[in-house]
Amino acid sequence: MPFDLTGRRALVTGAGHGIGAAIALGLARAGADVIVHHGHSADSAERVVADISALGRKSTAIAADVTDVTAVERLVDESVAFLGGLDIVVVNAGHLVGRVPVADMTEEHFRSVIDVNLVSAFRTCRAALPHVREAGRAGRIILMASQAAHDGGGPGATAYAAAKAGVIGFAKGLAKEIGGAGVTVNALAPGYIGDTAFHGTFTAPEAQRGIVGKLPIGRAGTVDDVAGTAVYLASGEAGYITGATFDIGGGAWPR
């Protein structure tokens, strides 16, 4: 039976392309109205909005720098004003920034990776909490971790792995804090997801082929693989799941 999110109001950060865009569209296909947040991808974000609007859902794109607390608070305020509230928040925005070995890493680089991946998640959740709490048992927070949180990531991704491991811990702690209101908090930990800007920028083609060749499931993951799990966690069927991390990696890191 398809998951039904009719009437639900969602904010997806980093939704201008890739995994975030797929999640935004997945939520809309299930019936939700969706805010498409982006950082620097205005054109592609507007295309996502157009696709959501074509489904008959309410949507708009909002630009904000998730490393700026004032911008994040504005993002949430504008989202609530447009939608009339918030039931679902998917904190997807993040960035590897660059592959740098620890021996060569500056403190500035380390802080920037932690800021854009972990501290930004804290900022977004803190700003959204009063609104999601009002949603009660319809309230959902979904955070984006990574397989790197489990296995340390690829070459030069130690800071990123540390940030994403922090996201998992943050999700567990926040789930305990807000569970009494009926709100669930969970994390997604994608492994290799092909055809994304992330790997197009930071992973050489031969390395990508090597990763796929070792996957037990025998294929690369897709953005829709991640989106499907997000839609499930946003649904009423997942109302008793909280503080969990869902690995979406084709069996690369079974636990």
What are the extents of the domains in the chain? 9-247
**pTM assigned to the model:** 0.94
- Residue 186: phi and psi, rounded to 5, are -140, 165
Tens digits of residue pLDDT in 7-38 = 999 999 999 999 999 999 999 999 999 999 99
Task: Write down the catalytic residue from 160, 192, 232, 240.
Answer: 160
**Beta bridge pairs of residue 189:** 247
**Beta bridge pairs of residue 12:** 36, 90
Residue 2 amino acid letter: P
Tens digits of residue pLDDT in 50-77 = 999 999 999 999 999 999 999 999 999 9
**Beta-strand runs (E) in 158-215:** 184-190
- Confidence tier at 254 by pLDDT (50, 70, 90): low
Task: Return the CATH number of the domain spanning residue range 9-247.
Answer: 3.40.50.720
Active site residue 240: no
Give the Cα separation of 103 and 105 in Å (integer): 6
pLDDT score at 1: 53
pLDDT score at 2: 81
SS3 195: coil
Closest C-alpha to 224, from 7, 5, 30: 30
pLDDT score at 183: 98
- On the CB side of 171, how many CA atoms lie within 13 Å of its CA? 29
Q: Are the C-beta atoms of 45 and 38 separated by less than 8 Å? A: yes
Tens digits of residue pLDDT in 139-158 = 999 999 999 999 999 999 99
